[in-house]
Structure 1
Amino acid sequence: MSEREDTNFLYPFIDAEENDAGALLTDLAASARSKAAESARLQRASLDEWGDPITAAGAQMAERFRAGARLYTFGNGGSSTDAATLASLFSRPARGRPVAAWSLAADQAVVTALGNDVGFELIFSRQIIAHAKPADIAIALSTSGNSDDLMTALAEARKRGLLTVGFAGHDGGRMATSDDLDFCFTIRSQSIHRIQESHALVGYQLWSAVQNNLAKPAPGPRETTGGPR
């Protein structure tokens, strides 16, 4: 198989024998426009579906952050970099209030040590055991919603009292039906690229909802009515 044939699967609309540069550029431009349009449509649909739950999750997260909570994010592959980006958005925002957030995939030494010593399916749950407190928050990102290591970590987080949030794709997989999640935001697509693009937007909206709640005055002690009994 030639080098050109090796990469044909990436752009199936390009003929391996294409010699017309103008036609090639036209095809590339059309493909880019189509992907951008689908991404924008999916993002609008996702926010329409999950707008209220995002607001509710943001309010609960803000309440926990006020009490000193820490956010733990995690994912595999490309979702691990999305998890790191999300943790950075919360901990080092360009504006608003920074909060404690950490990506559990960020420390290569810890991840590889756990993978080697106890098994890959435990690389996140063991970190939850070591670091998390009941007031904390766990967010797992998966394009399938079926990753064993994420589900194991979410089960551990739920057992320890953390607020648990999942970002999933397609039909949500195991995340969508698990009792171990307080919230699951499923992106209705089979394209990994489009799912991850919408995950980024949902993550930003969740951060924004948290910031909106943190900007409000902290609720004071509840007032009582009536005189002494």
Structure 2
Amino acid sequence: MSESYNLNLPLIVPGQAQKHVTVNEALARLDALAQLRLVALGVNTPPASAVDGAAYGLGAAPSGAWAGQAGQIAIASNGGWSFVAPRLGWVAWDEASKGRAVFDGAAWVADAQSLQASGAATLGQIAEVSHVIGAGATSTTAAIIPQNAVVIGVTGRVTSAITGAGLTGWRLGVAGADNRYGAGLGLGLNAYALGVTGQPQAYYAPTPLVLSGEGGSLAGGEVLLAVHYMALQVPRAV
């Protein structure tokens, strides 16, 4: 059967009987691929059931009804599956990780802003943590900033009012620079932080954020913090 160049849609041939079958299959593939959403990436085991049109990015060793289709996109269709090979430059939304992925000709690269067929890529990523504030002059998060990250900035939202005797505000930063990402920040529910790094700031080891009280010590509260950063991906091994 002849197929279209970009989306591998089945084409009607002259004199073909039951043309509606080919048209419907083409429409189903178009519906799945035009605004590509993958239920998950790198999966090898077919689900027990799937809604028609649901698409999966297959891993290196698929089994069962997916056997022999490594790296393909599997689309649920009429109780079975149809398979399409992704092409260089295709962009998909990964429903499992809730992020964007780009196909570099050999693999899907999550959060890629730019990439090469070699696998080298520049990634734009966000790391989030919901931090429960402990009592004291400062409260330190887990090491939310990853190793070798170039941080663009840090944002945050107060999800439970910050409390403390005499407290007038709080600062957000890292050890040795406690106001790098904000000072005089609000204490009430939905107060926010929006701290932009003044110049590219690389962190060569996993690094926590530090919250510091202003005018008094911290006693409690909770803040959702997000680190916005760039990361590098090296070319694939040869």
**TM-score normalised by the chain length of structure 2:** 0.23
More helix by proportion, 1 or 2?
1
Instruction: Name the structure where strand makes up a greater proportion of residues.
Output: 2
Larger gyration radius, structure 1 or structure 2: 2
TM, length-normalised to structure 1: 0.23
